[in-house]
Amino acid sequence: MAAQQVPGNNDPPRRYVFGPVPSRRLGQSLGIDTIPLKTCNWNCVYCQLGRSEPLINQRKAYFPREDILAEVQAALAEHGPGEIDWITFVGSGEPTLHSDMGWLIDGVKQLTDIPVSVITNGSLLYLPEVRAELARADAVMPTLDAGTPELYRQINRPWPELTYEMLVEGLRSFRAEYAGNLWIETMLIKGLNDSEEALRELARIMQSIGPDQVHLLLPTRPPVETWVQPADEEGVLRAAAILGEIAEVLHPKEGVFDLSGFDDPLDGVVAIITRHPMREDQIRRALAAYRPAATIDEALAGLLASGRAQVIERYGVRFWSAAPAHYPDPQQSQRTQPKGRRT
């Protein structure tokens, strides 16, 4: 494929590619978003992108695959060796809902030797065609937060017809077929899946799947439900001990958020927070590379007034997210708290 010109002053902002952004496990990761905000068949209580309203479980070509790949090519042309560690498909929801994932992974791998990863909830791995598409990637990171169907429904709140048995069997089948790195993600939530009983159930299922690694995460970005709290130190240590040597606790990574490729760096901020909400201090540091420090307050006020972004407060921290993302008010959120949850 011929090289595409780097976007210039008359070119539109990118729609599908963002970053590179610092990743907990992938270094500087160039993100590819294949779906609109928020297109997902789960409605996880901890999701940083707000509620899925409505749930969507239709696979189709949400955006033209050629346009997505052209943006990847342009982004690669802007960055030199060592500036991008991984290229990651990570959607504004569930990326495998885009029906051309296999074509896109193949296309990216024809453009570069940089490894390709896919962050997915894993809900569609029960489909042979989805397993075949993701098998082209160098690493696949599906989600498994629960060891029982009941806890799966409480935490992930999936499309009604997507059962826990389908999720687990999909993961087992993919492991049997996949030669790459299978890294399962588990979000540890205080009072839901951090007890000894819940973790032993989860460990039993993990053992039946056989992932290469289990990545233990905490909901440090703004969870959609206000009652969600990260597991405490005791819960994290318990999880690491019960899940064994393949488990690794991943803490948030600080690093450089790349706003290049945009005439206005605020467009770059919007591109990132649509898929990856940012703390306000992270945005300020990113903008400092492009604007005088004295103008950043005015820039952020203008971004908020533009209607393209919103500020969400969680854990006493201000996060910036895309304006269309839906975060319920605290009273509405409290009504979703599972009965009997330990506080």
Tell me how far apart the alpha carbons of residues 112 and 312 are, in angstroms, rounded to a whole number: 37
Bridge partners of 28? 22
In a domain, 226, yes or no: yes
Helix (H, G, I), strand (E, B) or coil at 309: strand
Q: What is the reported pLDDT for 13? A: 52
Assess if residue 2 is contained within a domain.
no
Report the CATH number that the domain containing residue 110 is assigned in CATH: 3.20.20.70
pLDDT tens track for 135-159: 999 999 999 999 999 999 999 999 9
Identify whether 12 is part of a domain. no
Position 219 in a domain: yes
**3-state class (DSSP) for residue 130:** helix
* Residue 8, in any domain of the structure: no
Kind and range of the H or E run holding 118? strand 116-119
Per-residue pLDDT of the chain (343 residues; tens, 9 = 90+): 333 333 343 444 558 999 898 887 888 999 999 999 999 999 999 999 999 999 999 999 999 999 999 999 999 999 999 999 999 999 899 999 999 999 999 999 999 999 999 999 999 999 999 999 999 999 999 999 999 999 999 999 999 999 999 999 999 999 999 999 999 999 999 999 999 999 999 999 999 999 999 999 999 889 999 999 999 999 999 999 999 999 999 886 667 788 887 889 999 999 999 988 999 999 999 999 998 988 999 999 999 999 999 999 988 899 999 999 999 888 888 888 987 554 3
Q: Name the packing angle between helices 296-305 and 280-288 (round to 10°).
A: 120
Q: Could you tell me if residue 287 is inside a domain?
A: yes
Model pTM score: 0.90
Please count the other Cβ atoms lying within 10 Å of the Cβ belonging to residue 247.
Answer: 21
Task: Answer yes or no: are the C-beta atoms of 154 and 36 closer than 8 Å.
Answer: no
Number of domains the chain is built from? 1
What pLDDT shows up at residue 72?
97
DSSP class of 339: T
Which CB contacts under 8 angstroms, 24+ apart, belong to 4-11? 4/70, 4/73, 4/74, 4/77, 5/74, 6/74, 6/77, 6/78, 6/261, 7/74, 7/261, 7/262, 9/263
- Is the CB of residue 313 less than 8 Å from the CB of residue 277? no
Rg (CA), the chain: 20
Q: What is the pLDDT of residue 73?
A: 97
Q: Which helix (H) or strand (E) holds 317?
A: strand 317-322
Reported as a single tens digit per residue, the pLDDT across 76-107 is 999 999 999 999 999 899 999 999 999 999 99
- Asked if residue 11 belongs to a domain, the reply is no
Determine, yes or no, domain membership for 65: yes
Expressed as residue numbers, the domain containing 246 is 17-334
Cα torsion 126, 166, 50, 235 to 10°: value is -120
pLDDT, position 4: 33
- 225 DSSP assignment: S
